Amino acid sequence: MSLWQAIWYFVSEALRGMRRSWGASTVAIFAISISLFVGAFFVLVTGNLGREVDRFRDRLRINVYLNVDASDADVAGLVELLEQPSWVRTVDVVTPEQGRDRLRQTFPEAFRLLGEGEEVIDLPPVAEIGIDPGNPPQASELAALMEEAAALPVVELIDDDREWLGRLVAVVTVVRLLGLSLGAGLLVAATFTIASVVRLTAFIYREEIDVLRLVGATEFFVRGPLYATGLVQGLFGGVLALATLGGCHAVIASRSAETFWAPLVFAEFLGWRTQLLIIVLGASAGLFGAVVSVRREPPGTTS
């Protein structure tokens, strides 16, 4: 028997067996589907959150506030220091006059109440650092530069988004780990469910297994349909999980304008590689469960 003939036989027997014990097979498929859905859901959500974090990171700006009485030479010295690293894309100096203009544009009413602010508001010059998104710094590199800048007597304050961005990244990482752990735990449970279902299938087919052995079937031929049963159940579970997730994504994405969070966590669906991985994971878990269930001797009275 050729390999293709064997595969065809195994799969057709597996489908026939699943049809025969459809109740147990459905439970197994749902079990693996739920576990993969949970894992894939967290991958989807954290993937989109991660992309949002990356976008924030690209727009990350660091503002270095100088003393109010800083001279032009102080400003030039600071700019020279800040422009040195390759990952610094721009250093824009905002003069006190430009600062007042921004304030006027942003808060015109408050500015007018303060008597146009000419004398009341004494703003310091600010150096705004733009990071090159294509060449982001290591956290240590960024910290070293900020430390060096802070050490200058002319620098009053450094304001950057690193702290809250770091917290956001930590939250995303924890959520991802939580989701993957939950998914992995459920996957293990689903694998054992499939193992039990395959064992049950083998028990239902014990008479046929006996006959197969009596007429001279090899163990590969006897066990093949059982392995195929686990593999097909896992495959169906993976496809079902993806289809369900895809449906949820489509529904939520169509109403994304109504919520603030939907565009953040459901902006994009999983990439094809991730989708393929989920299906392969389901099939592998099913196959593993089947192998575990008949690793010794499939039920039957004939050896």
Partner 1 sequence: MIRCFNVRKTYPRGQVALDDVSLEIERGELAFLTGSSGAGKSTLLKLIYREELPSDGQIIVNGRNVATLPLSKVPYLRRSIGIVFQNFRLIARKTVLENVCYLPRILGASMKEQRDLAEQALADVGLADRSDAFPLELSGGEQQRVALARALISKPELLIADEPTGNLDAELSREIVELLVKAQGQGTTVLVATHDLQTIERHGGHVLRLEKGRLVEDTQVAAPGAVADEARE
Helices (H), the chain: 3-20, 22-58, 72-82, 96-106, 108-113, 139-150, 162-204, 206-215, 219-254, 262-265, 272-293
Contact 80, 154 (CB under 8 A): no
Asked if 1 touches partner 1 (CB under 8 A), the answer is: yes
Q: Is 302 in the site for partner 1 (CB under 8 A)?
A: yes
Please state the closest distance from residue 236 (CB atom) to partner 1, in A.
Answer: 23
Among 105, 106, 140, 303, contact with partner 1 (rule: CB under 8 A): 303
Comparing CA positions, the residue from 230, 190, 238, 222 lying closest to residue 303 is 222
The answer to whether residues 165 and 57 touch, using CB atoms and an 8 Å cutoff, is yes
Phi, psi of 177 (to 5 degrees): -65, -40
Q: Which span (104-112, 216-224, 259-267, 271-279) binds partner 1, by CB under 8 A?
A: 216-224
Binding of partner 1 by 15 (CB under 8 A) = no
Q: Kindly state the number of chain residues that form the binding site for partner 1, as judged by CB under 8 A.
A: 20
CA dist., res. 236 & res. 230, Å (int): 10
Residue carrying the six token digits 């430009």: 98
CB of 189 to partner 1, least distance (A): 32
Asked if 7 touches partner 1 (CB under 8 A), the answer is: no
Query: What is the smallest separation between the CB atom of 1 and partner 1, expressed in angstroms?
Result: 3
86 lies in the site for partner 1, by CB under 8 A: no
Residue for token pair 């660091």: 62
**In the complex with partner 1, which residue's Cβ is closer, 90 or 302?**
302
* 212 sits near partner 1 (criterion: CB under 8 A): yes
d(CA 55, CA 50): 9
Q: Which of 203, 208, 235, 204 is nearest to 221 (CA)?
A: 208
Q: Is residue 2 a contact point for partner 1 (CB under 8 A)?
A: yes
**Interface pick for partner 1 out of 9, 56, 65, 269 (rule CB under 8 A):** 9
> Residues 6 or more apart from 298 whose CB is under 8 A from it?
202, 206, 209, 222, 223, 226
Residue 5 near partner 1 by CB under 8 A: yes
Among 143, 214, 243, 276, binds partner 1 (CB under 8 A): 214
State the minimum distance, in angstroms, from the CB of residue 300 to partner 1: 11
Task: Candidates 79, 210, 264, 299: give the one binding partner 1 (CB under 8 A).
Answer: 210
- Which residues, 263 to 282, sit near partner 1 by CB under 8 A? none
**Contact (Cβ atoms closer than 8 angstroms) between residue 212 and residue 221:** yes
Contact residues for partner 1, defined by CB under 8 A:
1-2, 5, 9, 20, 207-208, 210-219, 221, 302-303
